[in-house]
């Protein structure tokens, strides 16, 4: 074994430490015919060393090797080399902190969390509510914190003249250090610290409803304000401090309040100097009152708004000095005038009824809350008030309205705002588009209050939240329980009203929500061949089924009148089988998605391969054999118009009927799809499927045709009859002929032949009587209209 030592010398003049390099070399040996043949491979490895920016030296490492004797049968070798081990110099690292423009960072945070500017008031009122809650918690162990101001309330004072709005509370307030920690540090939440302290304290109250725990709610003020001034006084301190910050600044000011007129007994006052573009809207007292009612109506503390009002007062400016004390001057009416004044108005009088125990709330209270919250004038059909605890905790109050909206499309659009989400009694949003309830249950109205969701919840958070998915699942179950409760009432008119208003929504659920088919099917109602004037449930239908009936039969049409006269029902009515009538466009799609109910499959009687059971199979095979030639002959005449012609088991009085393929559209569905604005013709051709002509072997026309196909199969008149039978069956089965004018011409031709035959078949007695009538008519004197004179004619 040979090793080579390599010494590195810097070109720049600096000497590097000598290193002994051990280089490994890949050497390959290939077996040859002779036992002593060997190919040796030497490797030269370039190595470049950099010091700073200068290239120091390029060196090559030579390799050495040693070889052992190879055996006679195989070629083997052993190669070893030395590789240089170069110690890398340690480079000192410097730890740096991220630099950010605070004003820009704050702007990004605020605008990413809040999509509507108006929520600033919700956030600030929620912070005020938290401050009052904290003070109430502290007063449990130390009642001295309430001595300066026993009232716990929130007041909002808009000032349109100066473009400001001030939110005041008598809560816990803040010290100077609290201002630095809470307002001077972005995303630092004083409420979160307070909650942590409560959890750490074993003697603290176990249940708290503090709202804001994220730490950016205060900064939402900069959505509408260019400057914010916070004046606050804590019961722990005798000094009052003022915090001032501007939207486009990266710094803030804290100073002590020295103006006696601005001193507070306790609490916090936040004044927003509104941006010029926002001042008109958010300094308006009416707008502020509207926002409070929308977002903070159910805050547990009273909220007062400084409102401008008018009143009528006596007008003393027009009074005249007179010494006349006569009776007339005393009875003279005094003039009045209207003047403006301001006062505090309580705007959150409605209490969150869902926070109460359901047993303690009367029905009239539920109805009153429903009417006032959702602007309804009819009592709800049903309501449910419940609390869910465990993995997810939330309270909910849901209603089924007494009447559907006049515009039914409102129930299924994204603008549906019937469910109002609250987080700890603070309104978050009513715009969910399916996150809390599926689209088909959009008619349900109510409120959902959760303690587990963040206050600044967004659509994206709702879509990805596991909590929301659990809430949705439980809300849907409660709604189904409400609907079933209406169906089980003795007063059947209640469910009839529900089905009239919201039946289509339940059918839509059969299409969109396959997971809840078992809960949806008991709610379905249909007209049937036995009940043309009343709706029947599937449960009642199954209970009334014949013992030999093994399926639920249905037929789709545009009306009950057309459904009960369809030829498809003839054999079923003869067997006394009940048939569901699907007369609404959505019915057939809903039933197709259900597929079965209690083990009974849904079967469309207008499609091929209908098995009614109970027939004599031997007799059927004999008829099929007898009419096989007729079927083949008719198929040859009709060509591609039908897929095949066969003997029917579903008709008894009609000569023939046209049925749809098993997997294609029915005649009713084809009619609906043709009416679609964005219908695709290629899709319709594919889904239209095959059509099968079924003939009735017991009908006289078919018996005559069976003879004609054997005697005169090439007769054009007989072939025309076959084509006309097909087109007539097409219309009787609910389809439309491709050329109505051509079909009408054939009908007129047949009518002409019938009239000619009737004229040729008339008897001599009928001709004599007709001649006598003609003579009698000729003896009648014809009077012109102008010669007719009426005694009461007003023109003479």
Domain match, 624 and 582 both:
no
The answer to whether 151 and 170 have CB atoms below 8 angstroms apart is: yes
pLDDT of residue 745: 85
Domain match, 547 and 646 both:
no
Confirm or deny that 646 is annotated as ligand binding.
no
Neighbours of 495 (CB within 10 A): 22
pLDDT of residue 505: 93
Confirm or deny that 459 is annotated as ligand binding.
yes
Confirm or deny that 636 is annotated as ligand binding.
no
pLDDT of residue 510: 94
pLDDT for 158 beyond 90: yes
In a domain, residue 314? The reply is no
Mean pLDDT, residues 587-605 taken together: 91
Mean pLDDT, residues 201-215 taken together: 43
Token readout for 2 is 């040979």
pLDDT of residue 59: 41
The answer to whether 581 and 526 have CB atoms below 8 angstroms apart is: yes
Domain match, 140 and 282 both:
yes
pLDDT for 63 beyond 70: no
For the chain, give the longest Cα–Cα distance: 155
In a domain, residue 517? The reply is no
Quick one: pLDDT band at residue 183, thresholds 50, 70, 90?
confident
Q: How far is CA 245 from CA 120, 212, 218, 697, in A?
A: 16, 21, 12, 95
pLDDT of residue 389: 85
Distance from C-alpha of 232 to C-alpha of 267, rounded to nearest angstrom: 6
In a domain, residue 669? The reply is yes
Domain match, 416 and 390 both:
yes
Domain match, 592 and 625 both:
no
Token readout for 207 is 């249940």
Confirm or deny that 634 is annotated as ligand binding.
no
Confirm or deny that 85 is annotated as ligand binding.
no
Mean pLDDT, residues 31-46 taken together: 40
Quick one: pLDDT band at residue 466, thresholds 50, 70, 90?
confident
In a domain, residue 785? The reply is no
Q: What is the CATH number of the domain that holds 270?
A: 3.30.565.10
The answer to whether 734 and 671 have CB atoms below 8 angstroms apart is: yes
The answer to whether 426 and 416 have CB atoms below 8 angstroms apart is: no
Is 322 or 263 the better-scoring residue by pLDDT? 263
Mean pLDDT, residues 228-233 taken together: 94
The answer to whether 432 and 468 have CB atoms below 8 angstroms apart is: no
Token readout for 56 is 């120091």
Q: How far is CA 683 from CA 225, 676, 678, 709, in A?
A: 57, 12, 11, 37
Radius of gyration of the chain (CA): 46
Query: 3-class DSSP state for residue 445?
Result: strand
pLDDT of residue 329: 54
Domain match, 363 and 465 both:
yes
Domain match, 638 and 569 both:
no
Q: How far is CA 643 from CA 284, 490, 650, in A?
A: 74, 52, 18
Q: How far is CA 758 from the centre of its chain?
A: 66
Write down which residue in 38, 55, 88 finishes a domain: 88
pLDDT of residue 84: 45
Q: What is the CATH number of the domain that holds 429?
A: 3.30.230.80
The residue among 55, 45, 54 whose CA lies nearest residue 6 is: 45
Neighbours of 157 (CB within 10 A): 19
Confirm or deny that 127 is annotated as ligand binding.
yes
Write down which residue in 487, 515, 550 finishes a domain: 487
Confirm or deny that 268 is annotated as ligand binding.
yes
Domain match, 542 and 688 both:
no
Confirm or deny that 512 is annotated as ligand binding.
no
Distance from C-alpha of 282 to C-alpha of 278, rounded to nearest angstrom: 6
pLDDT for 645 beyond 60: yes
High-pLDDT (> 70) share of the chain, %: 70
Domain match, 376 and 483 both:
yes
Confirm or deny that 213 is annotated as ligand binding.
yes
pLDDT for 374 beyond 60: yes
Confirm or deny that 581 is annotated as ligand binding.
no
- Helix (H) or strand (E) holding 647, with range, is strand 644-647
Quick one: 267 exposed, middle or buried, by C-beta within 10 A (0-12, 13-18, 19+)?
A: buried
Distance from C-alpha of 700 to C-alpha of 392, rounded to nearest angstrom: 72
Distance from C-alpha of 630 to C-alpha of 138, rounded to nearest angstrom: 98
Q: Give residue-wise pLDDT tens across range 74-118.
A: 444 444 444 444 445 566 776 665 555 566 666 766 666 677 888
The residue among 120, 125, 165, 117 whose CA lies nearest residue 285 is: 165
Confirm or deny that 169 is annotated as ligand binding.
yes
Domain match, 449 and 537 both:
no
pLDDT for 66 beyond 90: no
Q: Give residue-wise pLDDT tens across range 741-780.
A: 888 888 888 788 778 776 665 555 555 555 555 554 455 4
Q: What is the CATH number of the domain that holds 556?
A: 3.40.50.11260
Confirm or deny that 216 is annotated as ligand binding.
yes
The answer to whether 229 and 257 have CB atoms below 8 angstroms apart is: no
pLDDT for 794 beyond 70: no
Total structural domains within the chain = 5
Looking at mean pLDDT, say which of 331-340, 419-428, 671-680 comes out highest: 419-428
In a domain, residue 330? The reply is no
Confirm or deny that 174 is annotated as ligand binding.
yes
Mean pLDDT, residues 320-325 taken together: 51
Q: How far is CA 61 from CA 22, 519, 598, 783, in A?
A: 9, 81, 85, 139
In a domain, residue 365? The reply is yes
Pick left, alpha or beta for residue 425 (phi over 0 → left; psi -120 to 50 → alpha; otherwise beta): left
In a domain, residue 659? The reply is yes
Domain match, 253 and 392 both:
no
Domain match, 468 and 532 both:
no
DSSP letters spanning 214-243 = SS-SGGGGGGTEEEEEEEEE-TT-S-EEEE
Write down which residue in 35, 66, 88 finishes a domain: 88
pLDDT for 679 beyond 60: yes
pTM of the model: 0.70
In a domain, residue 664? The reply is yes
> By residue range, what is the domain housing residue 22?
1-88
Q: What is the CATH number of the domain that holds 722?
A: 1.20.120.790
């Amino acid at each position: 074994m040979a090793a080579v030592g390599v010494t590195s010398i810097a070109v720049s003049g600096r000497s590097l430490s000598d290193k002994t390099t051990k280089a490994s070399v890949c050497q390959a040996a290939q077996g040859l015919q002779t036992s002593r043949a060997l190919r040796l491979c030497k490797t030269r490895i370039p190595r470049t060393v950099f010091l700073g920016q200068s290239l120091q030296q390029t060196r090559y490492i030579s390799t050495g090797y040693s070889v052992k004797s190879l055996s006679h049968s195989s070629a083997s070798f052993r190669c070893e080399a030395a590789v240089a081990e170069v110690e890398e110099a340690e480079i000192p690292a410097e730890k740096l902190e991220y630099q950010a423009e605070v004003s820009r960072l704050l702007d990004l945070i605020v605008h990413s969390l809040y999509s509507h500017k108006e929520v600033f008031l919700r956030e600030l009122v929620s912070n005020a509510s938290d401050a009052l809650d904290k003070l109430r918690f502290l007063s449990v162990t130390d009642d001295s914190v309430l001595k300066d101001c026993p009232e716990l309330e929130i007041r909002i004072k808009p000032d349109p003249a100066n473009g400001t709005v001030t939110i005041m509370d008598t809560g816990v307030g803040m010290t100077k250090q609290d201002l630095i920690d809470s307002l001077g540090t972005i995303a630092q939440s004083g409420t979160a610290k307070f909650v942590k302290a409560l959890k750490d304290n074993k003697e603290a109250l176990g249940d708290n409803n503090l709202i804001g725990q994220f730490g950016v709610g205060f900064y939402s003020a900069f959505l509408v304000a260019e400057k914010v001034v916070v004046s606050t006084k804590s019961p722990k301190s005798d000094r009052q401090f003022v915090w001032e910050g501007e939207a486009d600044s990266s710094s803030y000011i804290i100073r002590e309040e020295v103006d006696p007129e601005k001193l507070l007994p306790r609490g916090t006052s936040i004044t927003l100097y509104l941006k010029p573009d926002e001042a008109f809207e958010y300094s308006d007292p009416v707008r502020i009152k509207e926002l409070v009612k929308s977002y903070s109506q159910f805050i547990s503390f009273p909220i007062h708004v400084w409102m401008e009002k008018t009143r009528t007062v006596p007008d003393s400016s027009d009074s005249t000095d007179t010494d006349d004390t006569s009776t007339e001057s005393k009875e003279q009416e005094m003039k009045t005038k209207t003047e403006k004044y301001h006062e505090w108005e309580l705007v959150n009088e409605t209490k969150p009824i869902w926070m109460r125990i359901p047993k303690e709330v009367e029905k009239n209270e539920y109805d009153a809350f429903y009417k006032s919250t959702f602007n309804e004038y009819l009592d709800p059909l049903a309501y449910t008030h419940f609390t869910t605890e465990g993995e997810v905790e939330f309270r909910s109050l849901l209603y089924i309205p007494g009447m559907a909206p006049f515009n039914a499309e409102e129930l299924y659009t994204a603008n549906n705002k019937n469910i109002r989400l609250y987080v700890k009694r603070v309104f978050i949003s009513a715009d969910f588009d399916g996150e809390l309830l599926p689209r088909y249950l959009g008619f349900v109205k109510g409120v959902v209050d959760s303690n587990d969701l963040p206050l600044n919840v967004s659509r994206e958070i709702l879509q990805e939240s596991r909590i929301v998915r659990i809430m949705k699942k439980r809300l849907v179950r409660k709604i189904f329980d409400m609907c079933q409760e209406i169906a089980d009432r003795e007063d059947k008119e209640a469910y009839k009203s529900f089905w009239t208003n919201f039946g289509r929504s339940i059918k839509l659920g059969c299409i969109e929500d396959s997971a809840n088919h078992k809960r949806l099917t008991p709610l379905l109602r249909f007209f049937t061949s036995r009940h043309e004037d009343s709706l029947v449930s599937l449960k009642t239908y199954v209970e009334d089924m014949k013992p030999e009936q093994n399926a639920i039969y249905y037929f789709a049409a545009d009306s009950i009148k057309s459904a009960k006269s369809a030829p498809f029902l003839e054999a079923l009515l003869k067997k006394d089988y009940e048939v569901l009538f699907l007369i609404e466009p959505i019915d057939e799609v809903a039933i197709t998605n259900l597929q079965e109910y209690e083990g009974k499959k849904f079967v469309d009687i207008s499609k091929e391969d209908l098995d009614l059971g109970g027939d004599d199979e031997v007799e059927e095979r004999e008829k099929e054999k007898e009419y096989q030639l007729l079927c083949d002959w008719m198929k040859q005449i009709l060509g591609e118009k039908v897929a095949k012609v066969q003997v029917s088991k579903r008709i008894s009085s009609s000569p023939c009927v046209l049925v749809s393929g098993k997997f294609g559209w029915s005649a009713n569905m084809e009619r609906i799809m043709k009416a679609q604005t964005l219908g695709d013709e290629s899709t319709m051709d594919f889904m239209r499927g095959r059509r099968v002509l079924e003939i009735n072997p017991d009908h006289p026309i078919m018996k005559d045709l069976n003879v004609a196909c054997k005697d005169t199969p090439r007769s054009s008149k007989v072939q025309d009859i076959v084509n006309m039978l097909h087109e007539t069956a097409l219309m009787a089965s609910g389809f439309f002929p491709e050329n109505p004018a051509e079909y009408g011409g054939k009908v007129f031709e047949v009518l002409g032949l019938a009239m000619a035959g009737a004229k040729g078949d008339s008897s001599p007695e009928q001709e004599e009587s007709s001649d006598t009538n003609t003579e009698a008519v000729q003896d009648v004197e014809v009077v012109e209209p102008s010669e007719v004179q009426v005694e009461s004619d007003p023109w003479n």
